[in-house]
Amino acid sequence: PKVIYLKDYQPPAFAIEQTQLNFDIGPDSVIVSSRLRVVPCGSDTDLVLQGENLTTLAVSLDGVPVDAARMTETESTLTVRGIDSACWLETRVAIDPWGNSSLEGLYKSRTMFCTQCEAEGFRKITWFLDRPDVLSVYTTRVEADKSDCPILLSNGNCINRGDLSDGRHFAEWHDPHPKPSYLFALVAGDLECVTDEFVTVSGRRVVIEVYVEPKDLDKCAHAIASLKRAMRWDEEKYGREYDLDCYMIVAVDDFNMGAMENKGLNIFNTSCVLAHPATTTDAGFQRVEAVVAHEYFHNWSGNRVTCRDWFQLSLKEGFTVYRDACFSADMNSATVKRIEDVNLLRSAQFAEDAGPLAHAVRPASFIEISNFYTLTIYEKGAEIVRMLANMLGPETFRQATDRYFERFDGQAVTCDDFLSVMEEVSGRDLSRFARWYSQAGTPVIDVQDEYNAESQIYRMTLRQSCRPTPETPDKQPFHIPVRIGLLGEAGALALYCDQLATQELADNTDVVLELTDTEQTFVFTRVPERPVPSLCRNFSAPVHVRYPYDEPALVQLLARDDDLFNRWQASQEIAIRHIAAELDGNPLSMDRWTGALEQCLADAALDSAVMAELLHLPTMSYLIDRLEGHDVLALHAARKTVEEKLAIALKPRLHKALQAYHPPAQYQPEAGQIARRSLRNVAARLCVIAGWEQAADWIEAQVRAATNMTDQLAALRMSLLLPDADVSARCLDYFFQQWSHEALVVNQWLAVQAADERGDTLVRLQRLTETAGFQWGNPNKVRALVGTFAGQNYPQFHRNDGQGYQWLADVVGKLDQSNPQLASRLVTPLTRWKQYGARGTAMRNALQGLAGQDLSRDLYEVVHKAL
């Protein structure tokens, strides 16, 4: 396969000013006719269009069939020569949505036809310049059987519809906003619609329509409410108003991504749009809110201002993730949102940055762009925007985003364009900061300090480094904002530092040190006592920070830091020390740590949701990164031992918390209730781990009687911690009987079993794949079962006999034939083989087996980079 390089970028040789499409959906074929207004941009007269799996029926120019001598068709291109002035190019192709299992292009999901065009799916629909810098105005006519497909949708506004002969009908849509082909969408099927409306800040009425299968009509309210909140929030925070008369969302079962921001017609994975208290957890409700907002925010950061080329993907994704994270923080507990995001980043993105597939936020090359919808592009990209927003401050950042939207509206631009506006508006030099886009890898900051009691001078030295990564072996220093505070015996100390502008010292206890060189020393004066530094507050930069804390200092931070995020951070560090000590066979006393946690538990002012987070140990993935060189199963066992000790020490207090919990009269997915439920369920879980005598009865009663999915699923998960497998078997059965008709709940049921660390999980999972609740064609089910097993079930996936690895490789090899995107995503755990010492050999062998097969471009790239 061919490698594509950013440095080879060339602007398109032709513009396509208008795109007129007709979809004729028949009983066993779909004919796509296209009329393109093609305009040469320079002297090049060979028009090279992209296409994939198209059966070309006709090609004409200005109404005249194109001579065979003037055109060349290959598997992936159609070249028409001698186009030296504006013309209408018409093509007619046949496509096969029934046979399209890649879920890219036009395909059939259950009873409906739908599309997914990002990144390069449009070429599976018709011949086109399928690249994001070709913006065109689309008019789309869809024609189909009226009883099979009463609903016919595309982007923009419906301008005409009517009945035809033979029980057929049509609808015609026009989208006035020029857009790249990846934002094209079409849906045809038998769907029901829930409608609502939103009045924009300037008083325009926008019709909201959510299309679902009839059985899901009662699961749309939360998405609609979330959408309206997001629309208002974007008006208030970014001055962005919606720009069409209608905003449509369609829920689709078989979908590779979470959702897609197609102009005016978002297409959503059912898992990211449907919600109901009986079937959706609190986390599920929050996910729906976040994804609905994310796709809505793309209307400006992505659709109105789009990407010049796919190397700039983070331009829209990083910015939009940052926007949706701020929105979620405003709607829920801001600290918990930050903890969740940082946890994800450190667990998954840091691992990506440390592995063979490490790439910059703006990569320099790729084989298959679908492989670059990664945590680096999304989450690290969002961290870059967050650093900028914090460095500029809210007013300047808002001025800069206003200018960005204004200047580039209707254009396809680059990450450099975004940065240059930030630079221009703020007057700051961001030339070093720009390296965040071009250099992969997670920087490490080593912090050293020195205190002189006599002079009351405290010196802090920051030194940065970054491991080599595939594309950037040698790194230049990053521009890193490190937010810090200094803690004294009685609380936060006032900060005096001549190197910082006075405005940065405004609140006096919290400052940002900007590290732009390899090493810098900051000198603080009038420091009355030896402080405990609180570093990288609220995770001010996506870096590892190393400082030689002793446990009392960490406990002090956990108990009293005025940065709530860093209290959590301290508790994670303490846990890591305990786990490391356990691994070394020298366990530490639990007293100081549990004493601090008990105080936190007793503190009524502390947000219960934050408290729940304080009780979670670091994820396995983060531990593997931090405690390199230990066998994964030993690490897993040490983590469990520490968790059990923690649970036993805190049991009386947790038990009290559990008893004190009273369920609300009516379930609401709002911050207060969510916080109380999460503390209650983590407390129950720890009580179970601590050997609570009534655990089995309590769990079984919860599984049977819980009135919401959050509590029911939490109890089901806890049942797997019981020594008695009969109880969990009964709970799993009961749960399945109750929910076998709800696909999304069945997926949760699959995931619970895939995470089962006891017994012969692999055999049970293999059996599950043969049951009616599972389908290989549905990515949600595959991810729930295979993804959870390989990504989260450490003891079972890393079985000594290597069968866990082999199963994953077999599954991936098979899936690659039907859905390459899904296959190349699922294989990720095997690509990390270097982190697993002796076990890595078996993991590598499994990959090697795949490498010997005939692979898709997607899987080829991942497997070969990993080997």
User: Which listed option, Zn ion, ligand DPP, none, makes contact with residue 560 (CB within 5 to 8 Å by class)?
Assistant: none
Nearest of 162, 242, 165 to residue 202 by alpha carbon: 242
C-alpha distances (whole Å) from 169 to each of 150, 153, 187 are 8, 12, 14
**For Zn ion, which is the closer residue by CB, 320 or 540?**
320
- Sheet with 55-61: strands ordered across: 64-65, 55-61, 87-95, 30-40, 14-25, 136-145, 168-179, 157-163
Sign of the Cα torsion 139, 140, 146, 151 reads negative
Report the run of H or E that residue 681 belongs to, with start and end. helix 671-689
- Could you tell me the smallest distance in angstroms from the CB atom of residue 401 to Zn ion? 17
- Could you tell me the smallest distance in angstroms from the CB atom of residue 259 to ligand DPP? 5
Token pair, residue 695, equals 């655990």
Is residue 424 annotated as part of the catalytic site, yes or no? Answer: no
Cα(275)–Cα(233) distance, rounded to whole angstroms? 21
Cα(280)–Cα(15) distance, rounded to whole angstroms? 46
Nearest of 185, 155, 153, 183 to residue 171 by alpha carbon: 153
User: Which listed option, Zn ion, ligand DPP, none, makes contact with residue 625 (CB within 5 to 8 Å by class)?
Assistant: none
**For Zn ion, which is the closer residue by CB, 108 or 240?**
240
Nearest of 536, 530, 495 to residue 514 by alpha carbon: 536
User: Which listed option, Zn ion, ligand DPP, none, makes contact with residue 858 (CB within 5 to 8 Å by class)?
Assistant: none
User: Which listed option, ligand DPP, Zn ion, none, makes contact with residue 39 (CB within 5 to 8 Å by class)?
Assistant: none
Cα(309)–Cα(117) distance, rounded to whole angstroms? 15
User: Which listed option, Zn ion, ligand DPP, none, makes contact with residue 260 (CB within 5 to 8 Å by class)?
Assistant: ligand DPP
User: Which listed option, ligand DPP, Zn ion, none, makes contact with residue 484 (CB within 5 to 8 Å by class)?
Assistant: none
| CB-based contact 138:179 (threshold 8 Å) | yes
| CB-based contact 831:791 (threshold 8 Å) | no
Burial status of residue 77 (CB atoms within 10 A of its CB: 0-12, 13-18, 19 or more):
middle
- Could you tell me the smallest distance in angstroms from the CB atom of residue 853 to Zn ion? 32
Binding site for Zn ion (CB under 5 A): 317, 320
| CB-based contact 154:265 (threshold 8 Å) | yes
- Could you tell me the smallest distance in angstroms from the CB atom of residue 320 to Zn ion? 5
**For Zn ion, which is the closer residue by CB, 216 or 309?**
309
Nearest of 372, 414, 442 to residue 118 by alpha carbon: 372
**For ligand DPP, which is the closer residue by CB, 257 or 505?**
257
Alpha helices (H) in 281-380, listed in sequence order: 282-297, 313-331, 334-344, 350-354, 375
Nearest of 527, 486, 477 to residue 510 by alpha carbon: 486
Backbone angles phi and psi of 338, in degrees to 5: -65, -40
- Could you tell me the smallest distance in angstroms from the CB atom of residue 260 to ligand DPP? 4
User: Looking up tokens 């396509």, which residue turns up?
Assistant: 16
Nearest of 453, 484, 647 to residue 561 by alpha carbon: 484
**Beta-sheet pairing, 246-252 with 77-80:** unpaired
**For ligand DPP, which is the closer residue by CB, 260 or 751?**
260
- Could you tell me the smallest distance in angstroms from the CB atom of residue 182 to Zn ion? 11
Which residue has the closest beta carbon to ligand DPP? 260
DSSP string, 751-763: HHHHT--SS-HHH
- Could you tell me the smallest distance in angstroms from the CB atom of residue 608 to Zn ion? 31
**For ligand DPP, which is the closer residue by CB, 259 or 354?**
259
Type of residue numbered 414:
T
User: Which listed option, ligand DPP, Zn ion, none, makes contact with residue 329 (CB within 5 to 8 Å by class)?
Assistant: none
**For ligand DPP, which is the closer residue by CB, 369 or 392?**
369
**For ligand DPP, which is the closer residue by CB, 269 or 621?**
269
Annotated catalytic residue, options 104, 143, 261, 295: 295
User: Which listed option, Zn ion, ligand DPP, none, makes contact with residue 118 (CB within 5 to 8 Å by class)?
Assistant: ligand DPP
- Could you tell me the smallest distance in angstroms from the CB atom of residue 293 to ligand DPP? 11
**For Zn ion, which is the closer residue by CB, 109 or 320?**
320
**For ligand DPP, which is the closer residue by CB, 315 or 811?**
315
Q: Which long-range contacts (CB under 8 A, 24 or more apart) does 146-150 make?
A: 148/111, 148/189, 148/190, 149/25, 149/112, 149/113, 149/188, 149/189, 149/190, 150/190, 150/191
Binding site for ligand DPP (CB under 6 A): 118, 257, 259-261, 294-295, 298, 317
Token pair, residue 18, equals 């208008």
Backbone angles phi and psi of 490, in degrees to 5: -100, 5
- Could you tell me the smallest distance in angstroms from the CB atom of residue 269 to ligand DPP? 9
Sign of the Cα torsion 777, 778, 784, 788 reads positive
- Could you tell me the smallest distance in angstroms from the CB atom of residue 661 to Zn ion? 37
Partner residues linked to 4 by β-bridges: 366
Partner residues linked to 36 by β-bridges: 19, 89
Active site residues: 295
